Amino acid sequence: MSIAEDQVPGVQAAPTETRGFVFNHTMLRAKDPAVSLAFYTRVFGMRLLRKLDFPEMQFTLYFLARVDDESAIPEDDGERTAYTFSQKGVLELTHNWGSEDDPELSYHDGNAEPQGFGHICFAVPDLAAAEQWFDANGVEFKKRSDQGKMKNVIFVKDPDGYWIEVVQPSLSKGLGRDSGAAVSPSA
């Protein structure tokens, strides 16, 4: 069964004016950039594409992505910035200076009430191996692959408590066929 876009309420044909638009990045706030950068580069193998400091507003932006061809990343700062903003699937970590020193500060993960933002997602070639990798690296689990009604879906938390869904595409073929349910760690 294919998705008939004209039969799903609210879906409209993409206007020709949007040709070339790229979904570039999602931003998450990071209380301590050293901790978050270590997590995303070590645990998920992301590469820091660009770091932008804004001293007058006291924040720094870190742009990370999975990169297959590191030789394609330009050395020149301006070209590297343009390259960063032309990629797909980039994670922007925003660090408000001094947040790492505030013991009372924690960011809303979007899943506690009131709900809003839910999670980001990584696809992996081997879910069982990824689960072992997360265990070996002390990653906090929200849901393991064998828990809940929806098997073969993992949810872990990053250092700021944001949820990360982890799926193996070949194991996801049957999702939503029986219940039509959206992916949720409580499922």
Residues noted as catalytic: 165
Pair 66, 47: CB distance under 8 Å: yes
Nearest to 53 by CA among 95, 12, 90: 95
Strand order in the sheet with 140-143: 119-123, 163-167, 153-157, 140-143
Task: Return the closest-CA partner of residue 87 out of 74, 76, 106.
Answer: 74
What residues pair up with 61 in beta bridges, in sequence order?
52, 94
